Amino acid sequence: MTNILAFDLGASSGRAILGRLVDGKIEVEELHRFPNDPVQVGNRLHWDILRLYHEIKQGLLKAKHRGIELQSMAIDSWAVDFGFIGKNGELTGNPYHYRDPHTEGAMESVFSIVPADVIFSKTGIQFQPFNTIFQLHALKQANSPMLLEGGRLLMIPDLLRYFLTGNMHNEFSNATTTQLFNPALGDWDDELLAKLDFPRSWFSDVLKPGTEAGMLQASVCEELGVPSIPVYAVAEHDTGSAVAAVPATDKSFAYLSCGTWSLIGTEVNQPVIHELAQTMNFTNEGGVAGTYRLLKNIMGLWILQECRREWEREGKSYSFPELVQLAGEVNPLSVFIDPDDSLFLPTGDMPARIKQYCQRTGQQAPESTGEIVRCILESLALKYRYAFEWTEKLSGQSMSGLHMVGGGIQNTLLCQWTANAIGKTVWAGPSEGSAIGNLIVQWIAQGEFSDVWEARKAIRDSFPMTVYEPEESKAWKDAYDRFCVLTGIEI
């Protein structure tokens, strides 16, 4: 029996998941769970990176106190955000949160130096205002003290790995999300870096998922009273880990990693980089075993999470199951939003913004809590159909259904409505996709599985999957037509 640890850090919480292989079956156990709350300081929104590091140490301590002998560990998290390590080996500033507004105007400024089509042709990454390329440009324009001479850029898992091991590396799946990595070259794009005046010295060597990135350093082992173990670079972008854990049987499959963000796409051997992919703002992010994830980012359950926070501020506390129940009690397919409208990106009063969007598009704004929740979930399901169909077109594949993984699959209404919207089967599971993907890449590196497909079979054999068949097809087809007109999306 092997025991390994996956630290899976999401945009709202983190967890330490213990993984065991027992007779070829995967067993997982949550050892430690903790909030990941951003911190507002003045006008800036930061990640509390040292708190996250502290919680990782708590996870190691909990394994120790249980008498669990660990063989290895790895970390995955969200993408695009980073910290800088100065020449003295110390963090130069608290990492900014991708929802911080310091990147306002950065995209246009970058495009005045390097045109958008050139950037896409080099990187294959969709344009989002918070991408690393725009964050770095904004910091340079502001003469940020974070960018000290001789500094090294480390993405969030890279940074935490550095704290643990003392080694500085960039991992492939997260490096691709920076919009500075060239998949044709298999390395950072020196021409792009030079044009934007980003020193090459900021960037480290790029490790493939499954590479041993170092050992727990002596100071950590001494502090915690634990033995040194290998720390692996897995697919450290959590979506990369989630896709690795999709229990597909067919090499042509569609996935939806459903959580704070929704990411829908397919796995391809080569990035799809052409004008239509750029026009549709699809992205090509690194995956495991040299694959790429052709996908579309959708705002996801962030909108519902932020509504819930606003209601709590007003003194109305709802659990997520209660919100789903309220949504099921109101009239269906009445009012829609485009989840990816820029109105919904920042923190704030999300119910008011939903009403504002509906008024702007000539719809009767939802009033009750249930109506607002139903509007969000149905709109997400309809946007999933849009992204699903474009995934098929851009990849040249026809998909028999959609694999949903991640915490969002606990929302059974969303799963059923997604099946209704796409008109095809939805297979939901596992819910801890990112953590399980993290675990299997460690096991592949250790020779426990021969490749990701053997690991995917073990996942199918180890975790239950719920199947949703489409219902009410005409109502949902009519709703999709109205949704496309109201939101103005291109079909």
Question: What residue numbers bound the domain in which 485 lies?
Answer: 247-429+449-491
Phi and psi dihedrals of 230, rounded to 5? -65, 140
Q: What is the greatest pairwise CA distance in the chain? A: 64
Query: 297 lies in a domain?
Result: yes
Nearest to 253 by CA among 291, 283, 213, 215: 291
Strand ranges across the sheet with 254-258 = 283-286, 292-298, 262-268, 254-258, 401-405, 425-428, 466-468
Residues 454 and 376 in one domain: yes
Query: 73 lies in a domain?
Result: yes
Q: What is the pLDDT of residues 115-153, one digit of tens each?
A: 999 999 999 999 999 999 999 999 999 999 999 888 999
Q: What confidence tier does 2 reach under pLDDT thresholds 50, 70, 90? A: confident
**Whether pLDDT at 490 is above 80:** no
Query: 369 lies in a domain?
Result: yes
Nearest to 284 by CA among 300, 299, 268, 262: 268
Residues 172 and 101 in one domain: yes
Radius of gyration, CA atoms only, the chain: 22
**What per-residue confidence (pLDDT) applies to 65?**
98
Q: What confidence tier does 98 reach under pLDDT thresholds 50, 70, 90? A: very high
* Helix, strand or coil, per DSSP, at residue 225: coil
**Whether pLDDT at 465 is above 90:** yes
Q: What is the pLDDT of residues 231-283, one digit of tens each?
A: 999 999 999 999 999 999 999 999 999 999 999 999 999 999 999 999 999 99
Q: Which residues belong to the active site? A: 238
Residues 190 and 315 in one domain: no
Alpha carbon of residue 343 to chain centroid: 20
Lowest mean pLDDT among 146-150, 178-182, 196-200, 324-328: 146-150
What number is the average pLDDT over the span 163-181? Answer: 98
Taking a C-beta distance cutoff of 8 angstroms, is the pair 474, 268 a contact?
no
Last residue of a domain, one of 233, 261, 287: 233
* pTM given for the model: 0.94
Both structure tokens of 74 = 């790895």
Both structure tokens of 487 = 């939101």
Residues 73 and 174 in one domain: yes
**What per-residue confidence (pLDDT) applies to 149?**
80
Taking a C-beta distance cutoff of 8 angstroms, is the pair 242, 9 a contact?
no
Q: What is the pLDDT of residues 192-226, one digit of tens each?
A: 999 999 999 999 999 999 999 999 999 999 999 99
Query: 101 lies in a domain?
Result: yes
Nearest to 76 by CA among 239, 205, 294: 239
Residues 224 and 251 in one domain: no
Query: 442 lies in a domain?
Result: no
Reduced DSSP (H G I as helix, E B as strand, rest coil) percent helix, strand, coil of the chain, to 5: 40, 20, 40
Give the CATH number of the domain where residue 219 resides.
3.30.420.40
Q: What is the pLDDT of residues 11-38, one digit of tens each?
A: 889 999 999 999 989 999 999 999 999 9
The domain tally of the chain equals: 2
Residues 284 and 158 in one domain: no
Residues 67 and 167 in one domain: yes
Residues 390 and 413 in one domain: yes
Last residue of a domain, one of 233, 260, 275: 233
Nearest to 353 by CA among 316, 379, 320: 379
Query: 440 lies in a domain?
Result: no
Residues 298 and 201 in one domain: no
**Whether pLDDT at 491 is above 90:** no
Alpha-carbon gap, residue 8 to 80, rounded angstroms: 16
Which amino acid type is present at position 381? A
Residues 147 and 197 in one domain: yes
Query: 375 lies in a domain?
Result: yes
SS3 labels along 22-35: ECCEEEEEEEEEEE
Residues 150 and 11 in one domain: yes
**What per-residue confidence (pLDDT) applies to 37?**
93
Query: 140 lies in a domain?
Result: yes
Last residue of a domain, one of 202, 233, 264: 233
Alpha-carbon gap, residue 136 to 82, rounded angstroms: 10
Q: Round to the nearest angstrom and report the end-to-end CA distance of the chain.
A: 51
**What per-residue confidence (pLDDT) applies to 148?**
81
Residues 187 and 281 in one domain: no
Residue owning tokens 């005045």:
112
Alpha-carbon gap, residue 61 to 446, rounded angstroms: 23
